[in-house]
Amino acid sequence: MTKKNITIWILAVVSTVSTTALITLWLIRPAVPDFRGYHQNHFKSQQHERMEKDRLIKKLNLRPEQENKFFDSRAAHKQRIMPIFENIGQLREIIFTELEKDNSDTVLINDAIEKISVYEANLQKESVNYMLSMKEFLDPVQVDSMLVFFSKAMMPMGRCEHDSTHHKCRQNLNTK
In a domain, 109, yes or no: yes
Going by C-alpha positions, the residue among 163, 90, 87 that lies closest to residue 119 is 87
Q: Are 149 and 59 in contact (CB under 8 A)?
A: yes
In a domain, 113, yes or no: yes
pLDDT mean across residues, the chain: 81
Note the pLDDT of residue 1: 67
Domain around 83: 65-155
* Cα–Cα dist 69/134, whole Å: 8
pLDDT tens digits along 94-148:
999 999 999 989 999 999 999 999 999 999 999 899 989 988 988 899 888 888 8
Q: What is the pTM of this model?
A: 0.58
Structural domain total, the chain: 1
pLDDT tens digits along 72-86:
888 899 999 999 999
Going by C-alpha positions, the residue among 39, 45, 69 that lies closest to residue 57 is 69
Going by C-alpha positions, the residue among 163, 153, 155, 156 that lies closest to residue 77 is 153
In a domain, 38, yes or no: no
Q: Are 171 and 155 in contact (CB under 8 A)?
A: no
Note the pLDDT of residue 90: 94
In a domain, 88, yes or no: yes
* Cα–Cα dist 132/10, whole Å: 77
- Statement: residue 151 has pLDDT above 50: yes
Instruction: List the alpha helices (DSSP H) in the chain.
Output: 3-27, 42-60, 64-100, 106-134, 140-153, 166-175
Q: Are 169 and 159 in contact (CB under 8 A)?
A: yes
In a domain, 97, yes or no: yes
Note the pLDDT of residue 81: 92
In a domain, 2, yes or no: no
Q: Which residue has the higher pLDDT, 40 or 89?
A: 89
Note the pLDDT of residue 175: 43
Q: How many residues make up the chain in this entry?
A: 176
In a domain, 108, yes or no: yes
Q: Could you tell me the CATH number of the domain that includes residue 120?
A: 1.20.120
In a domain, 34, yes or no: no
Note the pLDDT of residue 159: 55
Note the pLDDT of residue 176: 40
Contacts of 166 (CB under 8 A, 6+ apart): 148, 151, 152
